[in-house]
Amino acid sequence: MNVLVACEYSGVVRESFRSLGHDAWSNDLLPADDNSPNHIQGDCADAIRSKKWDLIIMHPPCTALAVSGNAWYGSGMPKHDQRLEAIQWTVDLWNLATSVCAKVCMENPVGVLPIKPAQYVQPWQFGHAESKKTGLWLHGLPELKSTQLLDKPACGYWDNQTPSGQNKLGPSLDRAKIRSTTYQGIASAMAQQWSMKNNGA
């Protein structure tokens, strides 16, 4: 199966599919973190059009789209125009991908996109004792099923949270990169459940 993982430089999703024998490629404006030869550095729209893909998974930038950025990108805020541009770019990307590929997933945290996700997933549904509510927009794909459901720790908050429920990752140059990396449990579930032999294609 030919798989494109757009807006990914970590290689986590790409390698999950490649481990199952698929011809999977990541794509981003940035080079791959793991220096993989199976990475297309450049515009994601060009990568989508570059060949016939059986499955496209996209992780468009969420900084301007996520509700967590409302203080900077909300209506009347200094960066609101950037949010409007990000919304249009992301919707156009979704429309492009779904027009050329029968199976498409787009991933983004809780945000302001006008199109609604098919489902929300959490890392703790896939073996990670952390919280990050993430939407999955699905075209021609079944909803992702939980693979390892964890109970909330006795302390009342997840490993990546403070006691008040906020993300405890402090400001740093790598903060955005760390938070945008797909959890391995979710990536593995995508590869296992959305392979052609497993989803009826």
pLDDT single digits (tens) 91-127: 999 999 999 999 999 999 999 999 999 999 999 999 9
The whole-number average pLDDT for the span 175-185 is 71
The whole-number average pLDDT for the span 68-91 is 93
Residue 167 φ/ψ, nearest 5 degrees: -70, 130
Provide the pLDDT confidence category of residue 197 given band limits of 50, 70 and 90: low
**pLDDT value, residue 114:** 95
**pLDDT value, residue 162:** 64
Q: Is residue 131 part of a domain?
A: yes
Q: Is residue 170 part of a domain?
A: yes
Q: Is residue 199 part of a domain?
A: no
**pLDDT value, residue 201:** 45
**pLDDT value, residue 177:** 52
Give the Cα separation of 6 and 32 in Å (integer).
Answer: 12
Answer whether residue 168 shows pLDDT above 70.
no
Q: Is residue 198 part of a domain?
A: no
Tens digit of pLDDT for each residue in 26-55? 999 999 999 999 999 999 999 999 999 999
Provide the pLDDT confidence category of residue 166 given band limits of 50, 70 and 90: low
Output the domain CATH number for residue 113. Answer: 3.40.50.150
- Domain span at 47: 2-193
Give the Cα separation of 174 and 3 in Å (integer).
Answer: 27
Q: Is residue 109 part of a domain?
A: yes
CB contact at 8 A, 137 and 105: yes
Q: Which amino acid is at 37?
A: P
Answer whether residue 161 shows pLDDT above 90.
no
Q: What is the pTM of this model?
A: 0.88
> Number of structural domains, the chain?
1
Give the Cα separation of 147 and 189 in Å (integer).
Answer: 7
Tokens 């494109």 sit on residue? 4
